[in-house]
Structure 1
Amino acid sequence: MEAFNFATSLDLTELSVHVRIDRLDGNQKPVPYSVLFKRPDLRHRGSNINPHFELYVTAQIWADSKPLTVPVQTAYKSFKNARIWNEWLQLPVTYSNLPASAQIAITVWDLSPLEDKDSNLHAVAFGGTTIPLFDKDNVLQKGRQRCRIHRFKAADGLTNTTTPWVIPPARKSRKAQVVEDTVDEQVAEMQRLEDLLKKQEMGDLPTNAWLDALVYKKMMKIRNEALKAEAAALNRQTKSNGATASGDGDEQELFYLDIELPRFDHAIVFTDVEYPPPPVSDLRLPAEADVRLRPPPEVSFGPGIDIDGVGYGDADAGRLIKIYDPEVGRRVNPAEDKHRELMRSQQTDSLDRDRKPNVHVRDKLNLLLSKGPLEEITSHERDDIWKFRYFLLRDKRALTKFVKCVNWKNPREARQAAPLLDKWAEIDVDDALELLGPHFDHPVVRSYAVERLKKADDEELQLYLLQLVQALKYEAPGEGDDSSLARFLVTRAANSFTLGNFLHWYLMVEISDFSSDQEPEHRDLFAKVEYDFMVELEQTPEGVEKRNTFRRQGELLTVLAKISKDVRFGGGDRPTKLARLKKALADPKNELTSFEPLPLPLDPSVYITGIHTDDCNVLKSSLLPMVLNFMTTTDSKYPIIFKTGDDLRQDQLVIQIITLMDRLLRKENLDLKLTPYRILATSTSAGAFQFIPSMSIAAALLKHKGSLLAYLRSNNPDDAAPLGVRKEAMDNYIKSCAGYCVITYLLGVGDRHLDNLLLAPDGCFFHVDFGYILGRDPKPFAPQMKLPLQLIEGMGGPQHANFLAFKSYAFTAWSTLRKSSNLLLNLFALMQGANIPDIKVEREGSVRKVQERMWLGKGENEAGRDFERLIEESMGDWKAGVIDWAHEFVQTYWRK
C-alpha cells in the first residue's frame, strides 16, 4: 500500500487563509429597453454600460451560518479585454483556527451612481458564490477552483447556502437528455482540460513553454464555446419547466469565477483542538465531588441555519465541539470560596475557643446536625460550623459535618482542623464509615476513621468488610502503598482466620474482574493488598498453615467450577446430567469423597471432610446449579448450592445487608426470625450459597390446593392452637413475613414471584434470587412491597388478629431501621464504585433510592399512617396477582 502523508490544520498556526481571485468568465446580455423603461436605475450600472467595466470582489470567512471575519476586497482595477484580477487576498484568520464547516463567501460587486436601497451603498451585487474550505473528507481544498456565480445575489455563507459553488446536475427526461448530449460533451471536454491544467500547475505534468501557450489559447476558445452552450441549455431547461428567468433580463446569464487556493506538499486534514479535562478538583471542596450538572441550554436556531446538517442533526451529533467549563455544575461561587478563606485566615483559635452561640444559632446548629449524610450543607452553614467548632467538640454528630466544611486542599485549614479530630467526642461506626467514602481522600481524615474502626470487634467488622474492601478504591492517589485502611484490614485479617477467609475471597473476586467496569489501577490495588495480606499472614505463628488452607480452598472451588461447567454444557436431559455429576464427584482424580478437614469458604466455622456423592442434585434452573452435601467433622451434613455462569456479588451484597438489619433489629429485642443464608461469590462467574431446606410458595400452594395455612398445619399440627398451627411456627411465619416485607421494600427488590418466595417447615419465610434491586423490576406494574394475598391467608386472613400482629411487627421493624438510616446509607455509598449491575445503572442515585424509601423527612406519626397505607395498597394490588398468574403459567408450560 502506498504511503499517505498528510499534515493537520493545527500545524498551520502562523499561516493566514489566502485566496487568489483570477478571472470572471461569462457573457452578459444587453438589457432590453422595455426593462430600462421600468427600471431607470439600470441605465447607470457600470456593467450595463461597458461589458468590461471595472468590478471588485470581496471575500469573507463564514462557519455555521455566522461570519468569522470581516470581508476583504480586491483593489479597483480597469479591465481591457477580460475581467482578470490575478490578486491574492489575505483573510484575517489562520488555518489552525478554522472549524470544519468553514467556507469562503465571495461576492462580485458592480458600481452604480445610485444608492442601493437594501445596502445603502453605491454598489450592487453582480453575483456571489460560496465554497467550503474543507471537502467531505475534511481535507483542505487547494489549487485552482472554478466557482458558479449566482447572478444578482450576494454570497450568503449559510450552512444551506443559496449560492453554492457547484450545482449538481438536475435529473433530465429522456427527450431532454438527447438534446443536451452535445452540451454535456463540450462541458466534459472543458472540465477535462481544466483538470489537466490543474495537474500541470500542481507539478504532476511536464511543462513546455511554446506548446503550453498554444494549448492555453485553444483551451480558452473551447471554454468560451462551452460556456455559451451551457448558458443556452440552461435557458432552454428553464423555459421547458415553465419558470421565468431570474435576474433583470428575460434570459439567465451564466458566469464562472476562477479562484486559486494555496497549494501544499501534503494533504491538510482538519483537526480540532483537544481540550484538557477541566481542573474542577482544584476549585471545589472534596465534599462537593457529587456535582449537580445544570441542564443543557435550549438552542434557538436562527433563519437559514440547517438544524439537520453537519453539527446539528442526530447523525452528526458526535462532531459537535465540546468546550469544558470548569465552573459548570459548581454548587458554590468561587468568590464565596475566597471570602471564606479570607475570613478563616483572620479568625484566631484564642477567640474561637470561647465563642458560644446564642439561642437562635444553637437551634440552627441542632437542625444542621440532624441532617443525613446525603443532605447538602450550604456555605453559610459551613461558616457557622467552623466558627463554633470548639463549642461542637463534645457532640459526636458534628464531626462529619465539620470535616465537610474544611477545605482539606488548603494546607493552612488542614493544619488547623487536623488536631481537633483527636479532641472530638468519639463517633459511631456509621460516621466512621462515612469518612471512608469517596468524598474524603485526605489521609488524616481516613486515618481517624480507621482508628475508630479498630475499636470494633471481629464480628462487627465482618458485617462491614464487603464495603471496606470497596473503600480501598477511594484512597487518595499515591496513598495506595501507605493506606491506613489497607494496613488495618491486613493486620486484623491476619490475626482472625474468619476475617482473613472473607477478605481473601473478596479480594480474589475483584482481582479476577477484567471487565471494562473495573479500572486496571483498582485491580492492581487489590492485588497489592492480597500480597501484603499473605506476607503478613506468614509472619503469624500458624501463617504458613493458613496460607496452605487458602490454597486448598481454591483448588476445591476450581474443581467444583469445572464439574459445574461439564454438567451444565454437557448434553442430555436432567437425569443424564445428574448421573454425570455423581460420576464426577466419585472420580478418585477429583479427590472429593474424602479429604483432610478444611474450613468451608462459605462458613469458615464449619470444617468439611468430603462430599456425599449419592446425596446431590441438579436443579431445574436455566444455569443448572448443583446441590452438594458436605460431610463435616461433627458428622452432620452441610448442604450448599454451587453455580457457574452468574455473578453473585449483587446477591452477596443483599444478604450482607439483611444480616446487618437482623443484627440491628435484635439489638432492639426484635427477633423477626430472618433467614440470612450464607453466600459467597468465588469469582465473577461462580459462587456458592447455603441450601436451606424449604419449599417455594408456588410449590406449597400447588401441593396443598392453594392454601399456605394447610402447609403450616401439615408441618406443625396442633389442634389446641388457633388455626390448628403450633404457636411457635405461626409466630415464625408472621414475624418473618413482616421482616422480609420491610427489608425487600427498603432495598427495592424486584422480580418477586411465588417461585422465589420460600417457606421452611418451621414456618420461617424468606426471599431468594436478588437479581433486581433498588427499584428495578423486569415486570410492569410491580408493587412497591411484595405482599401476596396467599401470604395473608396463611395468617388467617386480613381480619384475623395475626394480620394485625403482622402489621405491628412490620411497622416496628421499619421504624427501627429508619433510626439506623445513616449506617445503611453510608454502606451503600461505599458500594458506589462496585461492579454490581443495579448499582452501575446509577451509582450516586443508588444511595438516594434507599433514602427515598425510608421517608426521612416525615415524622413518626405521619410515616406510620403512610406505611399502613402502603401495606393496604400492596395487599390489594390486583396487577401483581395477574403477573404471578402469568409467571406460574409460563413456568408450568416449561416444566412440561
Structure 2
Amino acid sequence: MEEYSFANSSALDFPVNVRIGSLEGQYEPPSFSTLLRRPDLRHVGSNTSPNSDLYVTAQLWAGSKPLTVPVQTAYRSFKIGRTWNEWLELPIKISTLPLSSQLAITVWDLSPTGGKGAHGHAIPFGGTTISLFDKDSTLQKGRQKCRLYRHEAADGFSSTTTPAIPSAQRNRGGNGFRNGNSASPEGEELERLEKLFKKHEMGEIPRVDWLDKLVFTAVEKQRQLVETSARVSSKATRKLSTPRPEVESNDANSGEDGKEEERYTLLIDFPRFDFPIVYTDHEYAPPTISSQAHHAPPTGNVTLKPPPEVQLGPGINGTGNGVSDDDENSPPLIRIYDPEVGAKDNPAESKHRRLVRSHRTGVLDRDLKPNAKIRDELNTIVSYGPTQELNAEEKDLVWKFRHHLTRDKRALTKFVKSVAWHDQSEARQAVQLLPKWTEIDVDDALELLGPTFDNAAVRAYAVDRLRESDDDELLLYLLQLVQALKFEKISPELQNDSTQDSSLARFLISRATRNLMLGNFLHWYLMVECDDRSPDQVKEHRKLFAKVEFDFMTELMKIPEGAERRKTLLRQGELITVLSKISKEIRFSREDRPRKLQRLKKYLADPKNELTSFDPPLPLPLDPSISIVGCHPEESLVFKSSLYPLLIHFKTPDGKKYPIIFKTGDDLRQDQLVIQIISLMDRLLRKENLDLKLSPYRILATSANAGVVQFVPSMSLAAASAKYKGSILAYLRANNPDTTADLGVRPSTMDIYVKSCAGYCVITYLLGVGDRHLDNLLLAPSGHFFHADFGYILGRDPKPFAPQMKLCKEMVEGMGSSTSPHYAAFKSYCFTAYTTLRKSSNLILNLFSLMVDANIPDIKVEPERVVEKVRERFHLEMSEEEAMRHFEGLIVDSVGSIFPVVIDTIHNMMQGLRA
C-alpha cells in the first residue's frame, strides 16, 4: 500500500471559514410586457442593473437544524461583475462539526416592495447548500462551484431542495451543472475537464504555463458551445410543452418569457490543507474492566443490577448499513463493546506459557543445565542493554534456566523482566530467588529502581545493594534517586506514615541524617521539587516530596546534633531568600549597569540584610564543606547579561574568598544535571587511571527559577582570542611561560590543556550538548579547558548544521597545530576516554532513565526518547575498533566544518552590537 497521510477533524481547533468568491451566470432582463403586467418587478435591484448590489449570508446546518447564526458579507459596490472575495468566519470550530454539516448560502437582492421569502427589503436572489464533508467523510477544501437556485433561499435540511450539486449529477460523480436529460458527450467531457482543473488549481497537477494557456482557451470555447447548445435545446423543449398558468400566477418573481432559463453559479473557497482532513467523532473511553473474576453465582436475597443498555450509534441501526450495501433489506450491522477483547491474553499463548513455566517442574529446574547453543542464546540475552525489551520466547528461556543464571550478576534485571508478576505463585518464587543471586552492580540496582519495576521486593533488593555504596558514590546518584521517589508507593498525606513502606525513602533519610553533605543536598533537591509549581509538575509529586522532606526533618531531630543541623538548613534558606530578593530587585530595576552595581553593593552592605558577617559560620549550600562568615560587598559585580547575574565574594574563616554567581529567572536544573553527569564520568575515568583534568564547577538549583553557580576565574576563548590576536597558544604562553619547553608553554600546563580538551570533547558529544560558541568555551590560566551554559542537550541546537562535537580551530591552534605531537596525544586521549565510558554505558543510561519524569526542558520535549538519544551516541553496536574510527571521523568533521566558523563569526558580531 502507498503511504497515505491525513489529519483528524477533531484536531482542528479553529473556526469554520469560507470565502465568497464571485457570481457567474447569464442575465436576461424581463421583457417590457412583463414589467407592464408586474409593476413590482420594476424596482428589484437585479432587474434595474446587471451589476446591482447584492450581499451573501452563510449559515451552518446539521440534522435539519441550524448550528450557528447567519454571517453576512460587507457592503460592496459592483461595477463589472459581482465579485466579493471575502472570507466569512462562522462561530463554530471544525473539531465540533457533525458529519452531516451543511453550509446554506443565500444571495440576497433588494426589493422595496418585498416579495416571496422577503426579509425586510431583501428578497432571495438565489440559494445553494453544500456539505462540508464529501461522500468519503473528508472535509471539503479549495475552490467549489455551487449551483444557485434562482428566487429561492438556501435551506439546510437533510433532504435539501437547493443542493450545490444536483442529485442526478452527484450519482454520476460530476462537478459541472447540467440537467439529467441533457447528458451529451460534450457535456461529459466538460465535466471531466472541470475535475482536472480543480486538481490543477490544488497543485496536484504540475503547472506548464505555455501549455496551460492553450488548454484554457480551448476549454473555454468548448464551454461556450455546450452552453449555447443547452440553451437552444431548452428553448425548443419549452415551446413544445404547455405552461401551467397556476405556477406563473403563484411565482411573483418569475416571468413568462424565459426567466427560468437563467443559470447562475456561485464560486466559493474552503481553506486548503496539506493533508486530507478525515471526519472523526469524539471517542469515549471504554468502561473499566474489573480484575476480579466472579466464580460463583450469587445466592440468597441479592439484588442484581440490570443488564447494561446497548446504545446504537448513528448509522448503525439504519437501513442500508447491513452486510451488503446493495441490498437495502439486509439486516443492520450492530456493534457491541466486548470488554474481554484486547484486555485478556490469547488463550493459546496463556496455555503455552503455563505449560512452559509449570510450577510442578520447579524442583527439576534447579538442576537444569543449558547446552552450548542455549548458553550462547542466554549470553546474548544477558548482554542486552537496559533499553532492550525481551520477547516472549526470551522470557520463557530466562525463566527456565533461572537457577543456572543466579551465578551471573548481569542476568538479574533480565530475570525480573521475565517474571509474570500478576501470577502470585510465580512472583513468590521470584522473590525467594532474589537473595540467592550473585551481588549485582550499582548500574543494575539503579535500573531496578526505574519506572518499569514496581514490585516492592525487587525495589527493596536494589536499595540493599545501594547500602554498600559509600557516601561519595551515593552523592553522585542522589539527584536521580530523589527522582526515583516518584516511582515509589508513597502516600502524599502528612498524617500517613507511608515512607516507612518505601525502602528507598527510608534509605535516603537514614543516610542523609548521618552525613552532613548528603543531608544538605537531599534537602535542597527536595525543596526545589516542592517549589516547582509549573503545569508540568504533578501536584501529587509536590506533596510526595514535601512528605519526604517532613519525615527527613523529623528523623533529623532524633539525633543529638539534629537540632543544630536543622537550624543550619533554615539559615541557608534565609540566605537564599535574601539573595533572591536582591537579585530580583536589581534585575527588574530600570537602571544602567553601573547603577545596578551600586545598588548591589548597597544591599550587601546594609545591616538589615545581615550579609557582611555570619555568626556562627554557615556551611555554603553550594558546597557544605566550605563555611562562610560573611561577604565582601565592595568586590561584588553585576554581569552584562539579560538576567543580570550577581557575582558575590564570600569570606571563609581562614581569610580566603569563595566567589559564587547567583542568578534568578533561569531554571538551573538542566545545568545541574549535566555537571552531575560530568562529575560521574570523571570518576569513572579516574577508576581506569585516566585523569583528564576535568574541572566540573558546582551548580545548585535553589528553586525552579533561581540557583547558585561556582565562579571559576577564567576567560572565554572569544575574549582570549581577541586579547591575544586570535592565538590561544599566546594566552597559555603568557600565563605559563617556559622558554626551554616546546611551544614556550610549561609542559604541565600543556598537558592539562590537552587532556581537558579531550575529556570535554568526548563528554559533551555523549550528552549531545548544543549551542557551542567561543563565549561558552572557557580556559583557566592553569590550562584547564571547560564548557559552560548547558541550555541545550540531547542533540538539540538552535543553530543550523551544528556539528555533533565542538572542536574549533582555536582549540587545535592552542595545541600547536594539527601536525603537532600534542594534537596526536589529544586524539589518543579522546579514543581512550570514549572506549572507557562505553564500558559504563549501562550506568549512564539508567541514570537518565530515572530522570524521564523530571521537569527539565530538554528531557520533557521527548521523555520517551531520552535514553535512546544517549544510547545512540555510545554506538554500542560497534566494536571497540569501529568506535575509535567513528570518533576519529567526528574529530575530522568538527575541525573541517565551515558552518561553526560562520556561526561563531555571526555570534561575535551580535555580541559586539549588544555591548
TM-score bracket for the superposition, by shorter chain length: 0.5 to 0.7
Q: Give yes or no for contact 2:777–2:788 (8 Å, CA) kept in 1.
A: yes
SS in 2 for 1:858: coil
Q: Which of the numbers 159, 183, 200 marks the counterpart of 2:116? A: 183
**Residue 598 of structure 2 corresponds to residue 588 of structure 1:** no
Alpha-carbon distance between aligned partners in 2 of 1:680 and 1:424, rounded to the nearest angstrom: 38
**Residue 664 of structure 2 corresponds to residue 644 of structure 1:** yes
Residues 805, 347 of structure 1: alpha-carbon distance in 2 compared, 3 angstrom cutoff: farther
Superposition CA RMSD, Å: 3.2
Measure how far apart 1:762 and its partner are: 0.5
Deviations 1:27-52 (A, max 9, x none): xxxxxxxxxxxxxxxxxxxxxxxxxx
Alpha-carbon distance between aligned partners in 1 of 2:655 and 2:403, rounded to the nearest angstrom: 61
Measure how far apart 1:844 and its partner are: 1.7
Aligned residues: 643
Q: Which of the numbers 362, 369, 378 marks the counterpart of 2:391? A: 378
Measure how far apart 1:644 and its partner are: 0.6
Letter in 1 for 2:578: V
Match of 2:777 in 1: 757
**Residue 370 of structure 2 corresponds to residue 357 of structure 1:** yes
**Residue 228 of structure 2 corresponds to residue 240 of structure 1:** no
Q: Give yes or no for contact 2:528–2:701 (8 Å, CA) kept in 1.
A: yes
Runs of 4 or more consecutive aligned structure 1 residues displaced over 4 Å after TM superposition: 158-161, 164-168, 185-191, 224-227, 230-237, 276-283, 323-330, 332-335, 477-481
Letter in 1 for 2:794: L
Residues 755, 182 of structure 1: alpha-carbon distance in 2 compared, 3 angstrom cutoff: same
Match of 1:274 in 2: 284
Residues 229, 780 of structure 1: alpha-carbon distance in 2 compared, 3 angstrom cutoff: same
Match of 2:134 in 1: none
Alpha-carbon distance between aligned partners in 1 of 2:459 and 2:646, rounded to the nearest angstrom: 43
Measure how far apart 1:233 and its partner are: 7.2
Residues 700, 239 of structure 1: alpha-carbon distance in 2 compared, 3 angstrom cutoff: same
Residues 282, 823 of structure 1: alpha-carbon distance in 2 compared, 3 angstrom cutoff: farther
Q: Give yes or no for contact 1:183–1:233 (8 Å, CA) kept in 2.
A: no
Q: Which of the numbers 508, 522, 527 marks the counterpart of 1:508? A: 527
Q: Which of the numbers 828, 835, 848 marks the counterpart of 1:828? A: 848
Match of 2:865 in 1: 845
Q: Which of the numbers 41, 44, 63 marks the counterpart of 1:132? A: 63
Residues 789, 227 of structure 1: alpha-carbon distance in 2 compared, 3 angstrom cutoff: farther
SS in 2 for 1:640: strand
Residues 606, 325 of structure 1: alpha-carbon distance in 2 compared, 3 angstrom cutoff: farther
SS in 2 for 1:427: coil
Measure how far apart 1:409 and its partner are: 2.4
**Residue 553 of structure 2 corresponds to residue 620 of structure 1:** no
Residues 159, 486 of structure 1: alpha-carbon distance in 2 compared, 3 angstrom cutoff: closer
Alpha-carbon distance between aligned partners in 1 of 2:708 and 2:845, rounded to the nearest angstrom: 27
Match of 2:679 in 1: 659
Match of 1:465 in 2: 478
Gap regions ≥5 residues in structure 2: 1-59, 70-96, 125-245, 266-280, 294-336, 492-497
Q: Give yes or no for contact 2:116–2:123 (8 Å, CA) kept in 1.
A: no
Alpha-carbon distance between aligned partners in 2 of 1:364 and 1:241, rounded to the nearest angstrom: 79
SS in 2 for 1:377: coil
Measure how far apart 1:892 and its partner are: 0.9
Q: Give yes or no for contact 2:643–2:665 (8 Å, CA) kept in 1.
A: yes
Match of 1:806 in 2: 826
Residues 228, 819 of structure 1: alpha-carbon distance in 2 compared, 3 angstrom cutoff: same
**Residue 562 of structure 2 corresponds to residue 543 of structure 1:** yes
Measure how far apart 1:166 and its partner are: 10
Match of 2:382 in 1: 369
SS in 2 for 1:433: helix
Q: Which of the numbers 235, 251, 275 marks the counterpart of 1:229? A: 251
Deviations 1:778-829 (A, max 9, x none): 1111110000011001000101111000000011001100000000000000
Measure how far apart 1:615 and its partner are: 1.3
Alignment of 1:691-730 (within 5 A): 691-730=711-750
State the percentage of identical aligned residues.
59
Match of 2:412 in 1: 399
SS in 1 for 2:658: strand
Residues 342, 834 of structure 1: alpha-carbon distance in 2 compared, 3 angstrom cutoff: same
Letter in 2 for 1:731: D
Q: Give yes or no for contact 1:432–1:450 (8 Å, CA) kept in 2.
A: yes
Match of 2:435 in 1: 422
Measure how far apart 1:882 and its partner are: 0.3
Q: Give yes or no for contact 1:665–1:817 (8 Å, CA) kept in 2.
A: yes
Letter in 1 for 2:251: A
Alpha-carbon distance between aligned partners in 2 of 1:646 and 1:526, rounded to the nearest angstrom: 22
Measure how far apart 1:875 and its partner are: 0.6
Measure how far apart 1:475 and its partner are: 1.5
Deviations 1:691-743 (A, max 9, x none): 10100000000100000000000000001100000000000000000000000
Alpha-carbon distance between aligned partners in 1 of 2:745 and 2:338, rounded to the nearest angstrom: 68
Residues 877, 845 of structure 1: alpha-carbon distance in 2 compared, 3 angstrom cutoff: same
Alpha-carbon distance between aligned partners in 2 of 1:784 and 1:696, rounded to the nearest angstrom: 21
Alpha-carbon distance between aligned partners in 1 of 2:356 and 2:701, rounded to the nearest angstrom: 52
Q: Which of the numbers 461, 476, 483 marks the counterpart of 1:448? A: 461
SS in 2 for 1:638: strand
Measure how far apart 1:225 and its partner are: 9.0
SS in 2 for 1:627: strand
Alpha-carbon distance between aligned partners in 2 of 1:626 and 1:584, rounded to the nearest angstrom: 12
SS in 2 for 1:766: strand
Residues 351, 548 of structure 1: alpha-carbon distance in 2 compared, 3 angstrom cutoff: same
Q: Give yes or no for contact 1:734–1:795 (8 Å, CA) kept in 2.
A: yes
Measure how far apart 1:228 and its partner are: 3.5
Match of 1:789 in 2: 809
Match of 1:489 in 2: 508
Q: Give yes or no for contact 1:458–1:499 (8 Å, CA) kept in 2.
A: yes
**Residue 629 of structure 2 corresponds to residue 609 of structure 1:** yes
Alpha-carbon distance between aligned partners in 2 of 1:689 and 1:405, rounded to the nearest angstrom: 45
Letter in 2 for 1:728: S
Residues 823, 273 of structure 1: alpha-carbon distance in 2 compared, 3 angstrom cutoff: closer
Q: Give yes or no for contact 2:738–2:746 (8 Å, CA) kept in 1.
A: yes
Deviations 1:268-317 (A, max 9, x none): xxx9773258779999xxxxxxxxxxxxxxxxxxxxxxxxxxxxxxxxxx
Letter in 1 for 2:788: V
Deviations 1:56-76 (A, max 9, x none): xxxxxxxxxxxxxxxxxxxxx
Q: Which of the numbers 559, 572, 576 marks the counterpart of 2:591? A: 572
Q: Give yes or no for contact 2:758–2:826 (8 Å, CA) kept in 1.
A: yes
Letter in 2 for 1:275: A
Measure how far apart 1:345 and its partner are: 3.3
SS in 2 for 1:184: coil
Alpha-carbon distance between aligned partners in 1 of 2:440 and 2:341, rounded to the nearest angstrom: 35
Q: Give yes or no for contact 1:190–1:226 (8 Å, CA) kept in 2.
A: no
**Residue 544 of structure 2 corresponds to residue 559 of structure 1:** no
**Residue 692 of structure 2 corresponds to residue 672 of structure 1:** yes
Deviations 1:353-373 (A, max 9, x none): 011111000000001111100
Residues 242, 503 of structure 1: alpha-carbon distance in 2 compared, 3 angstrom cutoff: closer
Alpha-carbon distance between aligned partners in 1 of 2:446 and 2:371, rounded to the nearest angstrom: 32
Deviations 1:456-482 (A, max 9, x none): 111100000000000000114766562
Residues 753, 282 of structure 1: alpha-carbon distance in 2 compared, 3 angstrom cutoff: farther
Measure how far apart 1:339 and its partner are: 3.0
SS in 1 for 2:794: coil
Q: Give yes or no for contact 2:733–2:745 (8 Å, CA) kept in 1.
A: yes
Alpha-carbon distance between aligned partners in 1 of 2:436 and 2:463, rounded to the nearest angstrom: 16
Q: Give yes or no for contact 2:115–2:123 (8 Å, CA) kept in 1.
A: no
Deviations 1:170-228 (A, max 9, x none): 455x6xx57x943335999999xxxxxxxxxxxxxxxxxxxxxxxxxxxxxxxx99993
SS in 2 for 1:488: helix
Match of 1:22 in 2: none
Alpha-carbon distance between aligned partners in 2 of 1:326 and 1:233, rounded to the nearest angstrom: 69
